[in-house]
Amino acid sequence: MKLVSSAISFWTFFLVVAVPTARGLWMDLPTSGARCISEEIHNHLVVMVDYYTFIGEEYFHDNNTVISPTVSIKVTSPHGKELFHKEKADHGQFGFTATEAGNYQACMEIVGDGHKGKKVSFGIDWKTGIAAKDWESVARKEKIQGLELELKKLEESVHAIHDSLTNLMDKDWDLSDLSRRTNARVAWYSITSLCICIVVSVLQVCYLRRYFRNKKLI
């Protein structure tokens, strides 16, 4: 049993590393204007996002009161649909399910004067797929634990890898098709250009011959 558990743990670690399902990011926000990040997300994928702001290493005090900087955060889909928008937020969590494949964008902008001219840092933890799943709720609902739960995670990881490979194959096919169409267009363009050059050259020769004959030079 210990050997099986060790094998399960190893493959769980391998699959978690092999499948990128979480994006943790720290950034400094500009004093004016917004800063945006984007993430390519597949269709029907669950996304959970944790975010938080701070000044320096921790919040600062003003008259013995903890003040935290606030930001405006907005998340939009690849076609510009607003999925989440909150003003004057310092920390929180939200989630959504992707309804279309593409780059989802999150934009953050400092609001208010809580930062008082100091550098504001913003942290965002972008979890997708199995990383965004509440496994405690799954274990309680399906009444599984221990080895069964690890096997369930492995099964979800395998499905995630399969979906990722399918998407990669679709992209590869689209790129190959685009390359073939581009090559065909370049070939037709080259042939057309060559034909035009030949016709123009013949016309120039004919014109010059007629010109020299009219001038009785030949």
For 40-64, the pLDDT digits (tens) are: 887 778 888 888 887 754 444 555 5
Mean of all residue pLDDT scores within the chain: 77
Phi, psi of 175 (to 5 degrees): -65, -40
pLDDT digits (tens, 9 = 90+) for 161-199: 887 788 788 888 989 999 999 999 999 999 999 999 999
Same domain, 40 and 101: yes
Amino acid (1-letter code) at residue 85:
H
Q: Is residue 138 part of a domain?
A: no
Higher-confidence residue of 7 and 215: namely 215
| Domain contains 13 | no
**Does residue 101 or residue 141 have the better pLDDT?**
101
197 SS3 class: helix
The enclosing H or E element of 75 equals strand 70-76
- Read off the pLDDT of each residue in 122-132 and give the average, rounded to a whole number: 78
CA distance 45 to 126: 12
| Calpha distance 109→74 (Å, rounded) | 9
At residue 145, the 3 state secondary structure works out as: coil
Could you tell me the residue range of the domain that residue 177 belongs to?
144-218
* Number of structural domains the chain divides into: 2
- How far apart CA 117 and CA 120 sit, in angstroms, is 9
> Residue 78 sits in a domain of what CATH number?
2.60.120.380
Residues 36 and 115 in one domain: yes
Element containing residue 28 per DSSP (H, E): strand 22-29
pTM: 0.57
Q: Can you name the residues that pair with 111 across neighbouring β-strands?
A: 70
